[in-house]
Structure 1
Amino acid sequence: MKKLIANLSTREKRYACIENGRITKLEIEPPKSAGSVGNIYLGKVTKVLPGMEAAFIDYGEKKSGFLYRDELPSYQEAKRKGTQKSSISQYIREGEKLLVQVTRDEAGTKGAKLTGLIELSSNHVVYIHGIDYVGVSKKFKSSESQNQWRSMVLTHKKADEGLIIRTAMEEMSEAVFLKQLETQRENYAQLLKKATSLKKPTLVSRRDSFFESILTEMSQAPSGELYVDDFTCFQELKKWQQDHGSGWEIFYEAGPVNIFSHLGIESEAEQALKKFVWLKNGSYLIFEETEAFTVVDVNTGKFTGKAEKEQTLFETNMQAAKEIAHQLRLRNIGGIILIDFINMKQVQHHHAIVEMLKTETKQDEMRVQLLGFTELGIFQLTRKRTSASLSEKLTMACPMCLGTGKVDSAETVAFRLERELMEHRKRDEEAVLIETNEAVSTILFGEQDAYKPVLEEMLHKEIVVMIVKGHDHRYEIKRFGTKAELMKVRENLLT
């Protein structure tokens, strides 16, 4: 049975999806990084790029968004008429204003991906303005029912409207569909009206994608349990349950303890940010996310196996394949993913790994494409990215290593300090005050300060050292002056 735990009582919103006693999905939305996917803006074209068939759009945020030619209603209209031309310059120009919607949040140095094909959705119908399209859920019980709905929709839609019929609509009547269609048309008209009254790029309509994602999770299963700690949201969810005749049970948890801790999943949720993931047999995975792609390294770790080497490696890789599929969904890792499985010699073992990944990724709501093994034995796959991963949302680059995972050694810093001191050897002052930690000082001056007199003679100055605590290998040349002055300065700084 599917279970949802929604922690909504604080500013940072969270929910966890639990299946078979394990977290399969974790959504977290800090207040400053609330996703903008689905938000609708008035945008202004700042630059047209014919060579890429795309344009940069100022939509009121810090970074401009990116919009491709195929996402323009004017291009789609020309395509319907068979008069389309290849250059985006035929359909959009600098300074032009248009309604745009975010389809993918900005990530790293990349701006958000935008579309001019505005999508408005409900639990039954998705309405898209600017494209001629009809889609019917593949989860309908029969192809006959799909065809009947497709034919009916075609009789009511306009040429510039795209409509997607969701699974929940299968048992509904044509009258319900027409009512929802008219509501969506009115909503779009209101958006246009609001946009025309605005003078500069800005937000027109904000989508509460976090609350919607909870409803989507509930819509995907006929029944389940939802625990929520915010009473207002509890009431809204109960209303949704009654309006849709849902079989979900909804519980309000008002206890003093954090609902994740109370229901025993806080520690498991925290593991989703760890670099290392241990497998049951003692082997482990290492996740390295970069802006271009994500690398997953498989290691045998403590697992030595009881059979021959090839079988041991195969068993490790099979466990790893299953866990990697789970972790990609849990961590919401998208884009290009490279997996360095432990090298196996037998071809059938490679096929088994691929089949395991196929089976496990079928449970993922995001589109996953398996591209296979390279000549070097690296497995390639892609996972659709619509929002930032958990680590992008919740972590920042270390201010010391700037995200590299490495910092300068004490030796590097000590010899850098020595070179900089040498640059000041012609100054007239009697002494110099430096600040650094114990490790750098030991390297610079040697054991028991044996090299200090030699360095002072080369500098023609005495060196006054202020030792600061910590493992931070850095230094600062504080000031020059007489030894007495600098000793007093050091004393004041240390007290």
Structure 2
Amino acid sequence: MNKEIVINAAPTGVEIALLEDKKLVELHSEKSDARFAVGDLYLGKVKRLMPGLNAAFVDVGFEKDAFLHYTDLSPYARSLLKFTQMAMNATNENPLDFSKFEVEPEIVKTGKISEVLGGKPNILVQILKEPIAAKGPRLSCELSIPGRFVVITPFNNIVAVSKKIHSSEERKRLQKIIEAVKPKNFGVIVRTAAEGKNTAELYEDLEHLVNIWNTVQQNLRGATAPTKIYSEQNKTHSILRDLLSADYNRIVTNDKNIYAETRNYIQRIAPEKVEIVNQAHGNVFDSMGITKQVKGSFGKTVTLNSGAYLIIEHTEALHVIDVNSGYKNVSNNQEQNALETNLEAAAEIARQLRLRDIGGIIVVDFIDMKLPENKKKLYERMEEVMKADRAKHSVLPISKFGLMQITRQRMRPEVTINTQEVCPSCNGSGKISSTLVLEDEIERNLQYLITHKHKNLKLVVHPIMHAYLTKGLWWNTKIAKWNRKFGQKTRLEKDSSYHLTEYHFFNEMDEEIKL
């Protein structure tokens, strides 16, 4: 499979596209003024304890307080509180030596938030989820600093190796290396990318992360909450760190600084792949056809190559995807048609989940199939195409109602690109008042205004409504009938900037009358 990373820099920020065989599968963006990104460390101030939720709201400088649940406190929360206070009070004469730090006893899993954060202290926290809609950031006290091959977790001494490394001998080798070189008071998680790496490479990565932790300590010295203590590398570097593997054979960017940084980064972690970095000019998304793919991939309806299509709907509780066969017809066998369409749809659904970063509960209504073996084939196909998804997910077999349920983790706001506009007449409802109903509404409001002593009224409507109210002989028009009925002349004017059902009344001073 041909895999590419395309980085398009603009004054407003950076856009990153991941392509597989020239097809867009992931889209990331980083605004130039981005704040509160996942992985950032903040010195926060506990503002409110919510015993009913067993959670706390913490001020990290966002317009809304961030949310910290007890389950995200980390077993070493007391150690973190102690460390935060000591690091803030440290001086050049009395520095904090983390290797000599005495770890506090772990908190219990079933404890209360008030038992740990009583007194509303300052605490070092990590952004777990970016602000989404009206919600502030989601926080965690289980701090972790990721590198290329390992992740360090302060306050514990556990060494864990990725389960994706299947060789038991390799897992034991990596564990022995890390146990021999890791500093005290640090836990280490060995990532999948560490497979086959030697001691020097692992130690260099570990030392780099320990230096970052030392920087965190320095930044805490004398700090006042709320403030950012450490920011994760920019998204370009974090994506390269997490994704770059032997599978990728091209990286394209239109920014010379990103080009130089990317080459230097790859030179450090994979010198043999440095030539895959290419510099382009202009809007690289346009020149490589990515913009066109973006516009065609984010609508409510997604059409497949065969003519089948998906309908993707979003609600507060879940996401619903409906599979329709369109005009696809591979045989005269209805069951076979359904299976082929569903298998094709499964691959596109997996792509759409990654592309839009849809999280939570997803319910898929595939085309009905009767044979159990075909349902099993579809389930296995969905699991297979979801393997490329880095987000934690779970796929359930098709239920007796013919529905498949998927859960997927979301770490950032869902990517939504509007390909439609809300109709100004119906506000997206798809319906407007009928002419007769609108006519009655205008008449009622006109009667109300005249009853309340308004004189010399002017009524302004859309040109089509104006034509309706003035059709026929002048003495038999609707506006003439109203004038006779209410004993007062009302001037009628038209305005083409109004939408079809919009109308306004104005007084003799030409001021709009609010109803």
TM-score normalised by L of structure 2: 0.82
Is residue 463 of structure 1 aligned with residue 486 of structure 2?
no
**What are structure 2's unaligned runs of at least 5 residues?**
80-102
- Cα deviation for residue 475 of structure 1 reads 3.0
Measure, in 1, the Cα distance between the counterparts of 2:429 and 2:276.
Answer: 47
Q: Is the 8 A contact 1:224 1:249 kept in 2?
A: no
1:380-411 Cα distance to aligned partner (Å, 9 max, x none): 111110111220xx559967679973265143
Measure, in 1, the Cα distance between the counterparts of 2:493 and 2:253.
Answer: 54
1:193-244 Cα distance to aligned partner (Å, 9 max, x none): 4234232312222223421244136523355111111111111111122222
Measure, in 2, the Cα distance between the counterparts of 1:281 and 1:397.
Answer: 24
Q: Which has the larger displacement, 171-180 or 342-351?
A: 171-180
1:353-404 Cα distance to aligned partner (Å, 9 max, x none): 212211110111112211334454332111110111220xx55996767997
Aligned residue in 1 for 2:135: 110
Measure, in 1, the Cα distance between the counterparts of 2:287 and 2:324.
Answer: 34
1:254-295 Cα distance to aligned partner (Å, 9 max, x none): 43x421222233211222322211112222111123343222
Measure, in 1, the Cα distance between the counterparts of 2:427 and 2:362.
Answer: 19
Q: Which has the larger displacement, 396-405 or 283-292?
A: 396-405
Match of 2:507 among 451, 471, 480: 480
Is residue 124 of structure 1 aligned with residue 124 of structure 2?
no
Aligned residue in 1 for 2:42: 41
Superposition pairs for residues 239-388 of structure 1, below 5 Å?
Answer: 239-244=264-269, 245-255=271-281, 257-303=282-328, 306-388=331-413
- Cα deviation for residue 86 of structure 1 reads 1.9
Is residue 61 of structure 1 aligned with residue 62 of structure 2?
yes
- Cα deviation for residue 450 of structure 1 reads 3.7
Q: Is the 8 A contact 1:45 1:93 kept in 2?
A: no
Measure, in 2, the Cα distance between the counterparts of 1:343 and 1:452.
Answer: 57
Aligned residue in 1 for 2:225: 200
Measure, in 1, the Cα distance between the counterparts of 2:15 and 2:43.
Answer: 30
Aligned residue in 2 for 1:406: 429
Q: Is the 8 A contact 1:119 1:126 kept in 2?
A: yes
Measure, in 2, the Cα distance between the counterparts of 1:265 and 1:414.
Answer: 49
- Cα deviation for residue 113 of structure 1 reads 1.4
Q: Is the 8 A contact 2:75 2:107 kept in 1?
A: no
Superposition pairs for residues 87-106 of structure 1, below 5 Å?
Answer: 87-93=112-118, 95-106=120-131
Q: Is the 8 A contact 1:35 1:105 kept in 2?
A: yes
Letter aligned with residue 65 of structure 1: A
Measure, in 1, the Cα distance between the counterparts of 2:219 and 2:426.
Answer: 43
Measure, in 1, the Cα distance between the counterparts of 2:460 and 2:481.
Answer: 19
Is residue 454 of structure 1 aligned with residue 481 of structure 2?
yes
1:323-372 Cα distance to aligned partner (Å, 9 max, x none): 11111112221221111223333333322221221111011111221133
In the superposition, relative to structure 1, how do residues 162 and 407 fare at CA in structure 2: closer, same or farther (>3 Å)?
A: farther
**Secondary structure, counterpart of 2:189 in structure 1:** strand
Q: Is the 8 A contact 1:437 1:473 kept in 2?
A: yes
Letter aligned with residue 201 of structure 1: P
**What are structure 1's unaligned runs of at least 5 residues?**
491-495
**Secondary structure, counterpart of 1:431 in structure 2:** coil
Is residue 390 of structure 1 aligned with residue 415 of structure 2?
yes
Measure, in 1, the Cα distance between the counterparts of 2:374 and 2:294.
Answer: 32
Q: Which has the larger displacement, 12-21 or 408-417?
A: 408-417
Superposition pairs for residues 159-174 of structure 1, below 5 Å?
Answer: 160-174=185-199
Measure, in 2, the Cα distance between the counterparts of 1:227 and 1:417.
Answer: 60
**Secondary structure, counterpart of 1:452 in structure 2:** helix
In the superposition, relative to structure 1, how do residues 82 and 241 fare at CA in structure 2: closer, same or farther (>3 Å)?
A: closer
TM-align CA RMSD: 3.4
Identity over the aligned pairs, expressed in percent? Answer: 26
Measure, in 2, the Cα distance between the counterparts of 1:203 and 1:214.
Answer: 22
Q: Is the 8 A contact 1:29 1:35 kept in 2?
A: no
1:289-326 Cα distance to aligned partner (Å, 9 max, x none): 33432221222333356414333333322222221111
Q: Which has the larger displacement, 182-191 or 26-35?
A: 26-35
Q: Is the 8 A contact 2:150 2:190 kept in 1?
A: yes
Q: Is the 8 A contact 1:413 1:475 kept in 2?
A: no
Q: Is the 8 A contact 1:35 1:209 kept in 2?
A: no
Letter aligned with residue 475 of structure 1: E
In the superposition, relative to structure 1, how do residues 253 and 138 fare at CA in structure 2: closer, same or farther (>3 Å)?
A: same
Aligned residue in 2 for 1:493: none
Measure, in 2, the Cα distance between the counterparts of 1:469 and 1:269.
Answer: 34
- Cα deviation for residue 178 of structure 1 reads 4.2
Measure, in 1, the Cα distance between the counterparts of 2:66 and 2:368.
Answer: 42
Measure, in 2, the Cα distance between the counterparts of 1:204 and 1:433.
Answer: 62
**Secondary structure, counterpart of 2:397 in structure 1:** strand
Superposition pairs for residues 148-227 of structure 1, below 5 Å?
Answer: 148-154=173-179, 157=182, 160-216=185-241, 219-221=244-246, 223-227=248-252
Q: Is the 8 A contact 1:59 1:201 kept in 2?
A: yes
Q: Is the 8 A contact 1:41 1:99 kept in 2?
A: yes
- Cα deviation for residue 172 of structure 1 reads 4.0
**Secondary structure, counterpart of 1:70 in structure 2:** helix
Q: Is the 8 A contact 1:46 1:94 kept in 2?
A: no
In the superposition, relative to structure 1, how do residues 73 and 466 fare at CA in structure 2: closer, same or farther (>3 Å)?
A: same
Measure, in 1, the Cα distance between the counterparts of 2:165 and 2:336.
Answer: 43
TM-score normalised by L of structure 1: 0.85
- Cα deviation for residue 439 of structure 1 reads 4.7
In the superposition, relative to structure 1, how do residues 20 and 455 fare at CA in structure 2: closer, same or farther (>3 Å)?
A: same
Measure, in 1, the Cα distance between the counterparts of 2:327 and 2:353.
Answer: 24
Measure, in 2, the Cα distance between the counterparts of 1:203 and 1:251.
Answer: 32
Measure, in 2, the Cα distance between the counterparts of 1:111 and 1:314.
Answer: 43
Q: Is the 8 A contact 1:260 1:266 kept in 2?
A: yes
Measure, in 2, the Cα distance between the counterparts of 1:288 and 1:342.
Answer: 17
